[in-house]
Structure 1
């Protein structure tokens, strides 16, 4: 006879079968609690919060040293960008004076210290505006104002830039909290705060809005990511705060919202870059397809900002195809879903990959030979016009610049030398041609009475001949470097001096009487005041 289970047996078996999920939940909670205890004791408990905050607060002061470092960093950055020198640009990144106030903003937000936040925000705003204006002034005074590859690289931020800023900010905040300041050097190079700000100054000086807004967005992306990540890191490390629990929740929501707001346009920019890369690859594949796979595509240059989209390429092919451009346009337009204008330069070569490679080398050699011949031709013409041997002409092929000092020619005036330079410069628009004339006499600057409009008094102004005399003297002074002495009535001298100021010309002044009259322009002797 089988006995029924007793209540004791039931009590013994029931817990084992019915509490397994509860047991796993309890185990997870214990692990989480253990991790929190370890983090609070071994990690946050070992951080000297007072020392960290005091050091961060001291680094956020708006001082003469801070502005000096901003100007030095900005100056190095803009010169490196104009010269397209990555090494010089990295030198500006190493200084990174803006990193301290940005980190100060992050820590102030985390601790709820609004006085510190105002201090850091003020230092950041002043430093940012100072850097932009300083860089803009350098660009306006610089003869180099072209968009280099280093400048262009900082005008199209994308989602990867946000990711770089985030991970760099994590490393930077960790280094500051744990006292490992050496890591900041790598963080400064990674986030690159000053170069995009220098590009903002370049865009402002050249009135290039595409460059201005693109680089400004990159700077704002880096700034926001660093500051908000520093805030989150400070909260994770348990820095004491005066914020209430509700304010803390709102702070977390705002940080998340800010990252999402930045991520959306950056994602769209990244998607556009990916599309352009794929479109370039497709264009190359289609051109090769048009030539039956026997051609080699060289120098593929797509233009995406025009309508229709333009694609230019040089093709090394064993056979010339008359309808290659039309077929490529049709295939590429259907593949990309937008109209495309294709321009192909076909160079006939032998068959095989080796022949194509040899053709590419031959083209490179031809371009080098053409550049050398062009430089030699410019040197010959300058030597002939200046009346000097060819070896006295300085030619810089890399920078496309040619300089020569002219020999004095009987009867030749400064206007003649200026016209010689203008003519040869017009024949070589891609070159900077400079002819230094001998010290010929300068013309007088004359004035005439100009009747004022209704209700306005009459005034004096330079005559057309006087304006030409000032412009010619300014050109000559920029070439020879000798100051110009201005002598004449006080008011007339002041007007001529003001005209010279627009050309950045060094002058000396001697006033004789008052009013308006002819002003004598002469080369100043050395040592004159």
Structure 2
């Protein structure tokens, strides 16, 4: 081992690594170009373009610099590397977020989705790649860095962070950020370990060195825990898909064919949508399969099973016809959902992108803009009119936080008809606008109104004054 260490020109390696960590015009320019190429490749779902961005990215330099600076105890170099990395990362996120915000394409492509759920395997990929990269840098075999850059893929997850920021998608943003941080820390700490292994001299005392070793181990464990949990979730979902298909197939004969539509693991209970082409319809199959899945998965499951009946011949041609019919039905359903989105956007006066359509739950949400002279009662009536035209859909119109009813009238027997309508508007607005509600007025009527709203699950505060009861958004008038 001493013979191997003796062949390493440590001063030359350190000098080269220092140059790669400088915050230069070239570094910033190449980071910007890499970020732009990466986000375009992600939006177009082009692996070749994404790989090109990986090769251009200069982020590997300051990350390796962090590891080497930590190994030799050069905290001036450590600060320089951290500053270069921070500026490069912020530039990459900002530029990609701007490009996505300006882009007409904001769809989550397979290339983007692949970088939103990191797991323990990603940590090991970064670890082995960093071992190869650090070895190549120390031994003077820089050509290997090309493969390391592709394997660790630093810029694409950073571009996905920018995508999540531009589209306000927390799941995409947090998942990609975790992947980027995982790669960053793993590469830096692996470079530290390789430098120490090759005898790079440190100015740290023995006590500080022990503390440093413990800290590095703790960081690796801290990364491994959430990534291991993520891997466990992926394994559960993969196994669940196999179980769902097997349980449904078990309810029908061998000539039937099952098509898994979607599985929403985030819903409670888990929502499963599937179709089956069969020659004998079995009405009880949905209930039986749902019970079996709940038992097998250990979590509540809500199964929607659509059965299509064919003839008794079992011919491939007939199955093909049934499959085509199902595809046509799916296309028609998609067209109806798009048409609904256009009509909702037109009615609410907003772009189509502001309309959220959930075909699985048959639910549509639209955030309405402030219309001149429109009250909350008008928005409520508008939602009811839209819902009446789409009885199979749940429509939610999210209004701006307009003025709440200013006079909730009460008589001897409770609220008057106008007062009841005002309370109905308050109840509806509370479910649509996430702002607390305050009832202001005389004690008897205010407490009576609060009790009525409480039966509908509306949590209100009461502020006692003289005069009739009125409603305000939390904090108004205080």
TM-score class, shorter-chain normalisation, is: 0.5 to 0.7
Which residue of the partner structure matches residue 468 of structure 1?
Answer: none
Alignment correspondent of 1:136: 97
Unaligned 5+ segments in structure 1 are: 1-38, 376-399, 401-418, 431-529
Q: How much has 1:232 moved relative to structure 2?
A: 0.2
Q: How does 1:79-118 map to 2 (within 5 A)?
A: 79-118=40-79
Match of 1:463 in 2: none
Indicate whether 1:206 and 2:151 are aligned.
no
For each residue in 1:311-344, what CA deviation from the matched residue of structure 2 results, as whole angstroms up to 9, or x when unmatched?
Answer: 1112121211122211111111122222211112
Look up the match of 1:469.
Answer: none
Equivalent of residue 150 in structure 1, options 95, 111, 116: 111
Unaligned runs of 5+ in 2: 339-345, 358-478
List per-residue Cα deviations over 1:7-62 (Å, max 9, x = no partner). xxxxxxxxxxxxxxxxxxxxxxxxxxxxxxxx111x11111111111111011100
Aligned to 1:359: 319
Which of 179, 182, 201 pairs up with 1:218?
Answer: 179
Partner residue in 1 for 2:19: 58
* CA pair 151-123 structure 1, distance change in 2 beyond 3 A: same
Query: In the alignment, which residue of structure 2 is the partner of 1:284?
Result: 245
Query: Are 1:40 and 2:16 an aligned pair?
Result: no
Question: Alignment length, in residue pairs?
Answer: 341
Q: Which of residues 201, 206, 216 is equivalent to 1:245? A: 206
CA–CA separation in structure 2 for the residues paired with 1:177 and 1:288 = 57
- The structure-2 alpha-carbon separation of the partners of 1:362 and 1:331, relative to structure 1 and needing over 3 Å to count, comes to closer
Report the secondary structure of 1:182's partner residue.
helix
1:368 deviates by 8.0
SS of match in other structure, 1:127: helix
TM-score, structure 2 length as denominator?
0.67
Measured after TM superposition, the shift of residue 369 of structure 1 is: 11
In structure 1, how many angstroms separate the alpha carbons of the residues matched to 2:126 and 2:317?
42
Out of 213, 230, 233, the position equivalent to 2:191 is 230
Residue 366 of structure 1 deviates from its aligned partner by 7.5
Q: Against the structure 1 CA distance between its residues 155 and 361, is the aligned structure 2 distance closer, same or farther, given a 3 Å change threshold?
A: farther
The equivalent residue for 1:185 is: 146
Match of 2:257 in 1: 296
Q: Distance in 2 between matches of 1:291 and 1:329?
A: 14
After superposition, give the CA deviation of every residue in 1:63-106 in whole Å (9 maximum; x if it has no partner). Answer: 11111111111111111111112221111111121100000000
Note closer, same or farther for the CA distance 1:370–1:217 as it changes in structure 2 (3 Å cut). closer
Q: What is the CA distance between 1:300 and its match in structure 2? A: 4.0
Q: Deviations over 1:348-387 (max 9, x none)?
A: 34568x8468625762598489979x99xxxxxxxxxxxx
Equivalent residue, structure 2, for 1:332: 293
RMSD: 2.7
Deviation at 1:252, TM superposition (A): 1.3
C-alpha change, 1:285 and 1:155, in structure 2 (3 Å) is: same
- Within 5 A, what are the aligned runs for 1:361-380? 363=323, 367=327
Structure with bigger gyration radius: 1
Compare relative contact order (CA 8 Å, sep 6+) and give the higher one, 1 or 2.
Answer: 2
Provide the rounded CA distance (Å) in 1 between the counterparts of 2:317 and 2:169.
Answer: 40
How much has 1:215 moved relative to structure 2? 0.7
Q: CA deviation at 1:293?
A: 4.2
